[in-house]
Amino acid sequence: MRQDIRRVAVIGAGTIGASWAAYFLSRGIPVSASDPSPGAPDLMRRMIGTAWPVLMRLGGKADADPTAWTFDADPAAACVGCDFVQESAPERLDIKQDLLARIDAALPPDVVIASSTSGLLASRLSERCAHPGRVVIGHPFNPPHLIPLVEVVGGAKGSPEAVAAAMTFYRAIGKHPIEIRKEVPGHLANRLQAALWREAVHLVAEGVATVADVDAAISEGPGLRWALMGPHTTFHLAGGEGGIGHFMHHLLPAVTSWWDDLGEPDVDAALQQVLVQGVAEATAGAGTADLAARRDAALVRLLEARRAG
């Protein structure tokens, strides 16, 4: 698979694709973008401009050019001459299958095609491709220009060479790729998020706590530790000098008894309304744009602190 990545195609230039484009550009990699929306170029221009000062703070190349991108409404044409493809089309299997088949037909077989899908299987996405082995998942977390994680999945059809090439590329541009060795719906991180949210919804439904207090239980508690280390290492420290072995010996029975009591809520219309109202109260009516801006500003400070420490 191609190793020298000099130009990246960003296919699907909505919120995720434009964020990807900003990140690639900040690492000195020209971008060729495509999207069927007439407003996509303007969206890209705005998002790149907004993200650029932050990206320069977080390790962007001093000579990187935020204008080093082109746009073509035809995705196949946009891919010509590119060494890596990051597809970020809508999360619908039929759309992605058709799109990936068109991209596959337009490129030499040594160019990796990575999909940003948050939960679809790589082996299904590549079903219409002549070269399914070069199609992998390269799932970022929102916003891609800030969050380091990228989940890479080859699945049943992706070649080890394509997976290795994607891992190498993402690592080279400052991302933190992880390889998911068995394809499952939702990959890895989204499944972990879904498991936590299911219990969060259950606790609200059962009247254990309000939406605001459930959220605070994470953001003011374990979420702070999770920004530094994952659940296994966190419990390793909880075991004291004996580490995870001591933790399991003394606390595993208690933890597994909690597992037995976890809920499976029925998120019907009434419960959905409770959650909507609870979020409105928890956020004091703040709009999503304002909340996202606060989140991103805090993320930048956190990422800078992690780099310094």
Question: Is 1 part of any domain?
Answer: no
Strands 176-180 and 84-87: unpaired
What residue type is assigned to position 266 of the chain?
Answer: D
Question: Is 61 part of any domain?
Answer: yes
Containing 135, the helix (H) or strand (E) segment is strand 135-140
Whether residue 160 is found in the same domain as residue 256:
no
What was the pLDDT predicted at 187? 97
Whether residue 41 is found in the same domain as residue 176:
yes
Q: What is the mean pLDDT of the chain?
A: 96
Distance between CA atoms of residues 193 and 119, nearest Å: 12
Whether residue 99 is found in the same domain as residue 121:
yes
Identify the CA nearest to 124 among candidates 146, 148, 91. Answer: 91
Domain around 285: 189-308
Structural domain total, the chain? 2
Predicted confidence band at 309 (pLDDT cuts at 50, 70, 90)? confident
What was the pLDDT predicted at 45? 97
Question: Is 2 part of any domain?
Answer: no
Whether residue 155 is found in the same domain as residue 195:
no
The CATH number of the domain holding residue 282 is 1.10.1040.10
pLDDT at 43 > cutoff 80: yes
Distance between CA atoms of residues 153 and 123, nearest Å: 10
Predicted confidence band at 224 (pLDDT cuts at 50, 70, 90)? very high
Whether residue 170 is found in the same domain as residue 276:
no
**More confident: 24 or 308:** 24
Whether residue 301 is found in the same domain as residue 210:
yes
Among 180, 198, 231, the domain-final residue is 180
Whether residue 133 is found in the same domain as residue 197:
no
Whether residue 85 is found in the same domain as residue 146:
yes
The alpha-helical segments, DSSP class H, found in 152-286 are 160-172, 189-205, 211-219, 222-226, 231-238, 243-261, 269-282
Among 180, 206, 240, the domain-final residue is 180
Query: What's the pLDDT tens digit per position in 130-156?
Result: 999 999 999 999 999 999 999 999 999
Question: Is 49 part of any domain?
Answer: yes
On the 0-12 / 13-18 / 19+ scale of CB atoms within 10 A, 45 is middle
Identify the CA nearest to 119 among candidates 163, 167, 153. Answer: 153
The CATH number of the domain holding residue 71 is 3.40.50.720
Whether residue 220 is found in the same domain as residue 123:
no
What was the pLDDT predicted at 237? 95
Distance between CA atoms of residues 122 and 120, nearest Å: 7
Distance between CA atoms of residues 127 and 147, nearest Å: 30
Whether residue 115 is found in the same domain as residue 199:
no
Question: Is 173 part of any domain?
Answer: yes
Q: Are 63 and 40 in contact (CB under 8 A)?
A: no
What was the pLDDT predicted at 283? 95
Whether residue 176 is found in the same domain as residue 195:
no
Cis peptide bond prior to 41, omega within 30° of 0:
no
Distance between CA atoms of residues 34 and 144, nearest Å: 18
What was the pLDDT predicted at 285? 84
Q: Is 94 helix (H, G, I), strand (E, B) or coil?
A: helix
Q: Are 120 and 93 in contact (CB under 8 A)?
A: yes
Q: Are 158 and 136 in contact (CB under 8 A)?
A: yes
Question: Is 67 part of any domain?
Answer: yes
User: What secondary structure letter does DSSP report for 11?
Assistant: E
Distance between CA atoms of residues 124 and 65, nearest Å: 36
Question: Is 50 part of any domain?
Answer: yes
Question: Is 115 part of any domain?
Answer: yes
Whether residue 141 is found in the same domain as residue 206:
no
Query: What's the pLDDT tens digit per position in 111-127?
Result: 999 999 999 999 999 99
Backbone angles phi, psi at 81, to 5 degrees: 85, 0
Strands (E), 12-90: 31-34, 69-71, 84-87
